[in-house]
């Protein structure tokens, strides 16, 4: 027997709702509703405003009796990718909380966390973790409880979109690329205030990032340039704004100016896409082969053609995949409503991300789904009895598995603190009492992030005095070059020939003519990732030698592959360190 579900996308500027009828094999889309969020005079864009409108839509349509899947905007979410030496989903689920500790700007106990496991390139496993503040989850749950509406799912927009987004790769990219990178599609969910980026392959999401840039920044740019009100600027963006690209024909000066304003407002999005492509290459060995656009901001005219020209990537609008058994998709543009559809499908099927931790709706609980499809009362009664027995056995097994998992986690944590695995409360209390009265200030690490950064600066500083600049030949008013320099010496004008740099002693450190530049450095508790460029390939080894002298806490790192970018040699290794460890010796 089919059942109806509703996906409710609580967008900042619009609330979208999709009603589906889910059967055993097919899902029929019945209705789609889009309701603008009316902002208060002071510009209220809070979650409460979207919740009020969303619940009002459900009641007005008579959908408040169906299970609801709520989709939160990307501005509420934070994403992290964790790698593991194993790929067992159960072991990843047990270890994810331990790995996530300290990786978010707020304590883990103040967050609701869920993850999507995946197989990492080259073996091992990884997980894309999504965290949302518990206060936001509690606010949604309280609103639906007060309205007596069945809340079954809470997820975030970019993962809800990935729930229904087609993962078909372009034909040339279905195999491995020339440099053995794994081809992935990069989905862009462009919302009102944020843009979420998720990379996914045929088996699901791989990694995600969030940029605090969206359609509202285009609105503000138009508002400032043309002195419009908030409402008029929003209307102007939806009706007249566009991005310049080839094939538009001749544009008037006024049209070109307006298109340039829009393009400048979206420049950070283009840069973030490029940064994400480099991040995916370096961190995951993945190559972006196509862009898919979703979210309300994706309806900006010319955006797909503009991004294709700027990035050199095939770009198209997101479309739900037919492989899910979806019906009733034709005749509707799903660019802005894919997330709401994904929320509804997540209710009917297993969701990618579930942030609603009510015990009654835990993921994988398919008893109600099976019960709905028992054809007769006799079969239903038999199923209830059978599931009662099975539930008891499964519950006992689950408790035992949970106890073992807690013991394993406690043993790992205590091993890091005490040097041995302790799995009972008495053992841990005994060890704590043994060190009672100890001066814990001596456990503060001898080095911090600034000390590590100082070590990088020291290693990156060229040795020797800075050479005097070479004087350029004087140029006369007629454009002629004087054969003498300012001190009367003869000067030979520089020609187009390439200068051959002299070789350098491997232990000499960096030289001034290396032109060594650190363009990126990210210091994490156990690892450091940086990106550097220089005129010589040997600069990497010489920098490495000096860095190990300046920071003995850095583990010797393998030489990274050097790439040519223009006239520079670029490398971006990831190195391990224990600079944050205490230096106190055991007494």
- Rounded percentage of the chain residues whose pLDDT exceeds 70: 77
Tally of CB atoms within 10 A around 286: 23
Each residue's pLDDT tens digit, 394-437 = 455 556 666 676 677 777 777 767 677 777 777 777 777 765 55
pLDDT number for residue 343: 94
Tally of CB atoms within 10 A around 224: 11
Q: Which residues contact 416 (CB under 8 A, 6 or more apart)?
A: none
Q: What is the DSSP letter of 490?
A: B
Between 440 and 551, whose confidence is greater?
551
CA distances to 17, 108, 137, 294 from 268, rounded to whole Å, are 30, 30, 30, 18
Q: What is the mean pLDDT of residues 302-323?
A: 88
- Residues pairing with 568 in the sheet: 565
pLDDT number for residue 384: 47
pLDDT number for residue 495: 46
Each residue's pLDDT tens digit, 144-193 = 999 999 999 999 998 998 888 765 666 555 454 445 788 899 999 998 88
Of the ranges 2-16, 40-54, 171-185, the best mean pLDDT one: 2-16
- Side-chain-side CA neighbours of 298 within 13 Å: the count stands at 25
Of the ranges 67-76, 178-187, 192-201, 548-557, the best mean pLDDT one: 67-76
- Rounded percentage of the chain residues whose pLDDT exceeds 90: 32
Alpha-carbon distance of 361 to 301, in angstroms, equals 41
Alpha-carbon distance of 162 to 186, in angstroms, equals 10
- What confidence category does residue 586 fall into, taking pLDDT thresholds of 50, 70 and 90? very low
Say if CB 455 and CB 547 are below 8 A apart: yes
Q: Is the pLDDT of residue 141 over 90?
A: yes
Q: What is the mean pLDDT of residues 103-109?
A: 89
Among all chains, which residue has been given the structure tokens 């406690």? Answer: 410
């Amino acid at each position: 027997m089919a059942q109806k579900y509703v996906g409710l996308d609580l967008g900042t500027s619009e609330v979208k709702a999709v009603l589906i009828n889910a059967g055993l094999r097919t899902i029929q889309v019945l209705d789609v509703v889009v309701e603008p969020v009316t902002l208060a005079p002071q510009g209220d864009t809070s979650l409460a405003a979207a919740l009020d409108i969303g619940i009002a839509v459900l009641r007005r349509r008579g959908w408040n009796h169906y299970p609801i899947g709520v989709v939160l905007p990307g501005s509420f979410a934070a994403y992290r990718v964790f790698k593991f030496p194993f790929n067992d989903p159960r072991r990843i689920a047990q270890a994810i909380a331990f790995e996530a500790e300290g990786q978010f700007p707020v304590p883990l106990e103040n967050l609701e966390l869920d993850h999507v496991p995946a197989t990492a390139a080259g073996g091992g496993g990884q997980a894309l973790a999504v965290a949302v503040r518990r206060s936001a989850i509690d606010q949604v749950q309280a609103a639906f409880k007060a309205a007596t509406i069945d809340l079954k799912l809470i997820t975030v927009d970019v993962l809800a979109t990935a729930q229904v987004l087609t993962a078909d790769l372009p034909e040339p990219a279905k195999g491995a690329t020339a440099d053995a990178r794994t081809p992935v599609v990069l989905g862009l969910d462009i919302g009102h205030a944020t843009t979420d980026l998720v990379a996914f392959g045929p088996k699901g999401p791989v990694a995600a990032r969030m940029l605090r840039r969206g359609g509202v920044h285009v609105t503000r740019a138009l508002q400032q340039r043309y002195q419009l009100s908030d409402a008029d600027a929003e209307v102007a963006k939806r009706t007249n704004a566009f991005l310049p690209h080839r094939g538009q024909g001749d544009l008037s000066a006024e049209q070109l100016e307006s298109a340039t304003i829009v393009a400048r407002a979206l420049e950070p999005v283009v840069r973030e896409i490029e940064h994400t492509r480099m991040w995916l290459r370096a961190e995951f060995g993945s190559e972006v082969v196509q862009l898919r656009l979703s979210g309300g901001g994706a309806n900006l005219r010319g955006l797909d053609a503009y991004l294709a020209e700027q990035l050199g990537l095939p770009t198209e609008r997101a479309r739900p995949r037919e492989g899910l058994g979806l019906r009733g998709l034709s005749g509707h543009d799903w660019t802005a409503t894919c997330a709401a559809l994904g929320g509804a499908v997540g209710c009917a099927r297993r969701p990618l991300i579930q942030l609603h931790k009510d015990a009654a709706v835990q993921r994988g609980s398919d008893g109600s789904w099976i019960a709905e499809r028992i054809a007769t009362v006799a079969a239903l009664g038999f199923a209830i009895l059978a599931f009662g027995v099975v539930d008891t056995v499964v519950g006992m097994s689950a408790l035992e598995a949970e106890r073992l998992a807690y013991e394993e986690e406690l043993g790992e944590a205590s091993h890091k603190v005490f040097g041995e695995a302790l799995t009972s409360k008495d053992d841990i209390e005994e060890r704590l009492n043994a060190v009672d009265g100890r001066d814990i200030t001596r456990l503060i690490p001898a080095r911090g992030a600034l000390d590590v950064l100082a070590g990088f600066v020291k290693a990156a500083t060229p040795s020797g005095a800075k050479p005097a600049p070479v004087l350029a030949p004087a140029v006369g008013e007629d454009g002629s070059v004087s054969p003498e320099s300012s001190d009367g010496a003869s000067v030979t004008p520089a020609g187009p020939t390439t200068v051959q740099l002299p070789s350098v002693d491997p232990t000499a450190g960096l030289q001034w003519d290396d032109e060594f530049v650190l363009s990126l450095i990210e210091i994490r508790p156990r690892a450091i990732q940086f990106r550097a460029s220089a005129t010589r390939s040997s600069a990497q080894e010489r920098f490495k030698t000096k860095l190990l002298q300046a920071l003995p806490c850095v583990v010797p790192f393998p030489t990274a592959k050097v790439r040519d970018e223009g006239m520079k040699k670029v490398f971006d290794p990831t190195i391990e360190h224990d600079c944050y460890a205490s230096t106190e010796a055991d007494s």
